[in-house]
Amino acid sequence: MTNPTIDLLLARRSVSANSLGEPGPSTAELELILRAASRVPDHKKLVPWRFLLFQGEARAAFGGVLAEICRTEESDPGAFRLKTEAKRFLRAPLVIAVISRIVKTPGAPEWEQTLSAGACCQNLIVAATALGYGAQWITEWCGYSEGVRKALRLADNERVAGFVYIGTAKEKPDERERPKLAEIVAPWRP
């Protein structure tokens, strides 16, 4: 039995941000990717997530912001580290910050809303892969930094679920070992 969606899911591999290059998705492709990402299970239709796009010059500009935050948050980052930060978002033509946004609602626990944001990240990756791009969902230090939270102007109910890097794979990633189903799947027994 062959099925293109199953084939994609079974073959998908993340492509490391360092192995991504130009070109990135076109405007029309980006819209498809974002539509796929906003079509995830969402209990009570709260839309508990949003997307921040980094493309073109915004990536270098945000790199400058990251280097400045690194300088204040780390005791002695050194010139090499600061240069790395300045170039962090330049690793791919497109970086999408998925922002989880908790909407306090009876019957829709925070946990479920957080999971929904995770589903957005995965749909971004699957949609980008389906269109022939490479993608990686990462957080790194900037996903957890107070300074980055401020720079992204996140509200108190928001946090970074991930930075999804999307571009063209410069090299095909090696296969990655996957868990054996027998080790993670079991029938429930009374």
Ligand X SMILES: Cc1cc2nc3c(=O)[nH]c(=O)nc-3n(C[C@H](O)[C@H](O)[C@H](O)COP(=O)(O)O)c2cc1C
Closer to ligand X at the Cβ: 13 or 43?
13
Q: How far apart are CA 72 and CA 47, in angstroms?
A: 34
CA 104 from centre of chain = 24
Count of residues that interact with ligand X, criterion CB under 6 A: 9
Taking CB under 6 A as the rule, does residue 134 contact ligand X? Answer: no
Of positions 137, 149, 160, 167, contacts ligand X by CB under 6 A:
137
Closer to ligand X at the Cβ: 105 or 138?
138
Asked whether the bond before 23 is cis by omega within 30 degrees of 0, the reply is yes
Of positions 101, 162, 166, 169, contacts ligand X by CB under 6 A:
162
Count the residues in the chain: 190
Q: How far apart are CA 159 and CA 147, in angstroms?
A: 12
Taking CB under 6 A as the rule, does residue 45 contact ligand X? Answer: no
Q: What is the closest distance, in whole angstroms, from the C-beta atom of residue 183 to ligand X in the complex?
A: 17
Of positions 68, 77, 140, 159, contacts ligand X by CB under 6 A:
140
Instruction: Assess contact for 140 and 163: CB atoms under 8 A.
Output: yes
Given the DSSP bridges, would you call strands 158-169 and 20-21 parallel, antiparallel or unpaired? Answer: antiparallel
- Under rule CB under 6 A, which residues in 6-25 are in contact with ligand X? 13-14
State whether the Cα torsion 132-136-60-51 is positive or negative: positive
Taking CB under 6 A as the rule, does residue 50 contact ligand X? Answer: no
Closer to ligand X at the Cβ: 54 or 137?
137
Taking CB under 6 A as the rule, does residue 138 contact ligand X? Answer: yes
Query: Nearest 10 degrees: CA dihedral of 154, 155, 159, 164?
Result: -40
Closer to ligand X at the Cβ: 112 or 140?
140
User: Which residue type sits at 82?
Assistant: L
Taking CB under 6 A as the rule, does residue 139 contact ligand X? Answer: yes
Binding site for ligand X (CB under 6 A): 13-14, 136-140, 162, 176
